[in-house]
């Protein structure tokens, strides 16, 4: 396995079941065809794609393909913003005398998200596990998810903070997408990955192509300690050192593709009308774990840092068993925006050396 950041060491046909199999429908389209396809999608349903919002790249609704940015590393916020929005109205409560009526909210219509990076789609897979499985289906999330089709865009380049291959990801990973697009020298290879994706592809006008050849690139070489090794280090003083620098600012959790804690509150919106809203929250906040009476089990910053890493690398894999190493997708957003330089890759490296 070759090392190096974003360099194509070798291109070999690797036997992965989904992407490179001849059974997967693959087409070669030109840039013009891709753009007109996206325009067609945006006219029929909601199209979300990476676009510039006052200088920041985000997954946001676009009215046509001219607003889409094609050359980028990854948007500032993850796909989580689309499927699990920062604020969501769950339902309204109307009071008529002694009677209470609930008014449901209806999700947005059919939505296609273009330009999804493999790390973000992988994050989606983890959110799906939490919100849709184990007999506790979140109806709001589920309705939104059902109506969403993911059109992935493989990475041509990586950023200085990316390390997805260290946690089992790939720059062109299509396993969590519905349709996958990879740019090559001769055009864009579009692949139908799932049944959901089938509804959007234009079989007739596109030129069929040979299967996609996966690239064997590895970026970053950060060790991820096996989940069994984590419990023994629960009480290490190591966590206090990591936590000391932390500001409990919560930015890491908010930009993370897999962090999913939330808070729910009923608020009065009009006379005799309440709204039940759900908002993002984070275990890194000082008051997150405060209980009635004022006690805070995770009062200290080191404890909260420890919780965040354990949640990603031990609790989640232990509880959900998705077959991958962790709930971290290696996107590197947390490293990029941390104001005080807390670095997940540094924590993993140090922990591995202690072990």
- Binding of another protein at residue 248 (CB under 8 A)? yes
Which residue in 120, 117, 162, 187 sits closest to 6, CA to CA? 162
Binding segment for another protein (CB under 8 A), chosen from 8-16, 39-47, 226-234, 336-344, is 336-344
Which range binds another protein by CB under 8 A, 36-44, 49-57, 307-315, 323-331?
Answer: 49-57
Of 90, 213, 249, 261, the residue at the interface with another protein (CB under 8 A) is 249
Alpha helices, DSSP H, located in 58-133: 80-83, 118-132
| Least distance (Å) between residue 339 CB and another protein | 4
Give the nearer residue to another protein in terms of CB position, either 175 or 258. 258
Under the binding rule (CB under 8 A), the answer on residue 287 touching another protein is yes
Query: Phi/psi class of residue 248: alpha, beta or left (left: φ > 0; alpha: ψ in -120 to 50)?
Result: left
Q: Which residues contact 314 (CB under 8 A, 6 or more apart)?
A: 227, 230, 231
Contact 179, 152 (CB under 8 A): yes
- Give the span between the Cα atoms of 318 and 295, in whole angstroms: 28
Rounded distance, CA 341 to CA 9, Å?
31
Q: How far is the CB of 138 from another protein (least distance, A)?
A: 18
- Residue 197 or 302: the one with the smaller Cβ distance to another protein is 302
Q: Does 169 bind another protein (CB under 8 A)?
A: no
Residue (215 or 296) nearer to another protein, CB: 296
Q: Does position 247 bind another protein by CB under 8 A?
A: yes
Q: Which stretch binds another protein (CB under 8 A): 35-43, 93-101, 147-155, 246-254?
A: 246-254
Sequence-distant (6+) residues with CB within 8 A of 48 are 59, 60, 61, 62, 82, 111, 112, 113, 114
Q: Which stretch binds another protein (CB under 8 A): 106-114, 165-173, 224-232, 344-352?
A: 344-352
How many degrees, rounded to 5, is the angle at CA 15 between CA 14 and CA 18?
110
Residue 306 phi/psi, 5° resolution?
-60, -45
From 17-25, 94-102, 111-119, 297-305, give the range in contact with another protein by CB under 8 A: 297-305
d(CA 318, CA 296): 25
Would you count residue 251 as binding another protein (CB under 8 A)? Answer: yes
Q: Which residues contact 32 (CB under 8 A, 6 or more apart)?
A: none
Residue by residue, DSSP assigns 299-354 as -SHHHHHHHHHHIIIIIHHHHH--SSS-S-----HHHHH-TT---HHHHHHHHHHH
DSSP state of 11: B
- The interface mask with another protein, positions 259-278, x = CB under 8 A, is ----x-x-x---------x-
Q: Does 285 bind another protein (CB under 8 A)?
A: yes
Q: Which is nearer to another protein, 129 or 311 (CB)?
A: 311
The pairing of strands 87-96 and 273-280 is antiparallel
Cβ 293 to another protein shortest distance, Å: 13
Nearer to another protein, 48 or 180 (CB): 48
Which token pair is 278? Answer: 């759900």
Task: Count interface residues toward another protein (CB under 8 A).
Answer: 51
Site string for another protein, 60-79 (x = CB under 8 A): ----------------xx--
Q: Is 92 in the site for another protein (CB under 8 A)?
A: no
Residue 65's contacts (CB-CB under 8 Å, 6 or more residues apart) are: 35, 36, 38, 39, 42
Positions touching another protein (CB under 8 A) are: 52-56, 58, 76-77, 86-87, 160-161, 237, 239-241, 243-245, 247-251, 253-255, 263, 265, 267, 277, 279-280, 282, 285, 287, 299-303, 306, 335, 337, 339-341, 343, 345-346, 349
């Amino acid at each position: 396995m070759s090392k190096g950041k974003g360099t194509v060491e070798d291109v070999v046909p690797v036997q992965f079941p989904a992407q490179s199999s001849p059974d997967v429908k693959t087409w070669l389209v030109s840039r013009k065809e891709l753009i007109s396809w996206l325009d067609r999608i945006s006219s029929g349903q909601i199209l979300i794609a990476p676009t510039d919002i006052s200088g920041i790249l985000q997954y946001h609704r676009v009215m046509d393909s001219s607003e889409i940015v094609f050359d980028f590393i990854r948007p500032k916020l993850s796909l989580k913003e689309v499927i699990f929005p920062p604020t969501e109205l769950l339902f309204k409560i109307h009071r008529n005398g002694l009677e209470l009526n609930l008014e449901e909210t209806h999700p947005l219509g059919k939505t296609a998200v273009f330009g999804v990076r493999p790390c973000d789609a992988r994050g989606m897979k983890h959110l799906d596990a939490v919100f849709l499985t184990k007999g506790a289906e979140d109806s709001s999330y589920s309705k939104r998810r059902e109506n969403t089709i993911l059109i992935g865009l493989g990475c041509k380049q990586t950023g200085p903070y990316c390390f997805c291959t260290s946690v089992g990801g790939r720059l062109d990973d299509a396993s969590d997408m519905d349709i996958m697009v990879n740019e090559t020298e001769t055009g864009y290879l579009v692949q139908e990955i799932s049944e959901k994706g089938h509804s959007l592809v234009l079989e007739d006008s596109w030129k069929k192509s040979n299967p996609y050849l996966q690239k064997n690139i590895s970026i970053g070489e950060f060790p991820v300690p096996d989940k069994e090794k984590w419990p023994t280090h629960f009480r290490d003083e190591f966590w206090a050192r990591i936590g000391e620098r932390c500001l409990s600012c919560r930015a890491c959790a908010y930009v993370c593709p897999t962090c999913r804690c939330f808070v729910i509150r009923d608020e009065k919106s009009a006379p005799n009308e309440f709204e039940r809203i759900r908002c993002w929250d984070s275990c890194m906040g000082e008051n997150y774990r405060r209980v009635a009476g004022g006690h805070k089990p995770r009062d200290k910053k080191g404890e909260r840092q420890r919780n965040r890493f354990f949640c990603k690398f031990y609790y989640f894999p232990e509880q959900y068993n998705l077959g991958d190493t962790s709930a971290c997708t290696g996107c590197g957003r947390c490293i990029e925006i941390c104001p005080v330089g807390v670095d997940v890759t540094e924590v993993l490296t140090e922990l591995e050396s202690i072990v």
